Amino acid sequence: MHDFHVGIEHITRVEGHGNIIIDVKEGEIRELRMDIVESPRFFEAMALGRSYKEVAHITSRICGICAVTHTTTSIKAIESALGFKPSQHTIQLRKLLLNAEYIQSHILHVYFLTAPDFFRVGSVFGMVKDNKEVVLRGMRIKTIANELCALVGGRHIHPITLKVGCFSKSPDLKSLAEFKKKIEGSRQDIEESIEFFKNLETPEYERETEYISLTNPDEYALYDGNIKSSDNNDETEPANYLDKVKEFIVPHSTAKHARSNRKSYMVGALARINNNYEQLHPKAKEAAEEMGLKHPCYNPYMNNIAQVVETVHCLEDSVSIIDDLLSSNLKDEKVELATESGHGVGATEAPRGTLYHEHKIDDNGKITYANYIIPTSQNLANIENDLRSLIPNILDQPKDDIILDIEMLVRAYDPCISCATHLMKVKFVNE
């Protein structure tokens, strides 16, 4: 096929609204763009003038899937601005809550948003007739993760116990002990998940790109660390994140794009595993090997397999964290911070990649500056470059297969478009 036009409005089974426009003439790509058409949401503007005690609850609403990560990152930025370091108990509870969010988000994506592609059905409902147990298994794992969010964060989404300095209420030890048994009881479902996903035929395609994630010498970096690029393995402190993340505006998107050493880079599960494979839990490494995920891996479709691997890691890490908490004197903390001016940056790995929040606070504790850089906006330029590389190699396929490969590639990134659309540049006619 030498000429074709693809206009997908809107891409299904991703969070938010985006279109794909591709024009190929005589075998050459004349136009390719991923339109982000969702309205800007102005969360930075909403934060201005609000108390530093309120802002994490506001930024939590940026996303209903990764609300824990937005809340945590916002709190870390404020604590950095105020020069405060939380207790080890608080950090452990935050890590446990993040693990729960990773599991629920990854399972939602691989079971309910991407798996239907492999059966060529329009949604997960199309899988129920012949693969009912597969769907139920995904629901069971996701339910456990949601319940862990509720136990630690106070409810399933938009946590209410997370606050600047500490948790307003810690889970009791008896409930944690009971939940540990529930997590351990899910290992059979995890093993069957690995068996299921290793037998799905992931498209063969490779394009080496720059991979950026947090890295931490002490652990697989999800909660904290420096920013690492696969290009030169250099590390940048979160406070200097703008040296690494260079945003720019394109006409067809209400979300900014980003680049670093090259024209684009990738964040997310595959980037994390490429940069930090050795620090995965041993069971997660076994899962990676069984599902054929090698490192480094340059196939973006394998990001979904990387998400399954991270699910294993987060489940096992949650067991370890609960063991630590059970052996400690866990109790509610009371922290009162002095109100003073400051400037801080928080960086945390969200399920879809590295998330940055930056805040400035005045002497009255009011937010005077806010900047949020979302994982999906960092991936948009790389998605377009992947498509430019992929399409010339699949032009001999039937058009329906071409469209499926394109949609699967976009979905492999697990884009959260609503999170990413937070900017609109307005130019008045008389300016």
**Binding site for Mg(2+): which residues?**
44, 422
Give the helix ranges, DSSP H, for 294-425.
303-326, 375-390, 399-412, 417-420
Is residue 18 within 8 A of residue 417, CB to CB? The reply is yes
Short-list 253, 352, 247, 361, CA closest to 34:
253
Is residue 117 within 8 A of residue 407, CB to CB? The reply is yes
Binding residues for Fe cation: 66, 419
Residue with tokens 């002497």: 363
Contacts of 68 (CB under 8 A, 6+ apart): 97, 98, 100, 101, 149, 153, 159, 162
Binding residues for Ni(2+): 63, 66, 416
Task: Provide the 3-class DSSP secondary structure of residue 356.
Answer: strand
Short-list 74, 109, 40, CA closest to 310:
109
Q: How far apart are CA 201 and CA 160, in angstroms?
A: 41
Please report how many Cα atoms fall inside a 13 Å half-sphere around the Cα of residue 153, on the Cβ side: 27
Measured from the Cβ of residue 356, the count of other Cβ atoms closer than 10 Å reads 22
Q: How far apart are CA 302 and CA 414, in angstroms?
A: 12
Q: How far apart are CA 163 and CA 55, in angstroms?
A: 10
Is residue 29 within 8 A of residue 23, CB to CB? The reply is yes
Q: How far apart are CA 170 and CA 23, in angstroms?
A: 55
Is residue 386 within 8 A of residue 102, CB to CB? The reply is no
Task: Provide the 3-class DSSP secondary structure of residue 211.
Answer: strand
DSSP sequence for 12-80: SSSBS-EEEEEEEETTEEEEEEEEE-SPP--HHHHHTTSBTTTHHHHHGGG-SSSHHHHHHHHHHHHHH
Q: How far apart are CA 385 and CA 263, in angstroms?
A: 9
Q: How far apart are CA 146 and CA 64, in angstroms?
A: 12
Give the helix ranges, DSSP H, for 108-172.
115-118, 128-153
Binding residues: 44, 63, 66, 416, 419, 422
Is residue 309 within 8 A of residue 269, CB to CB? The reply is yes
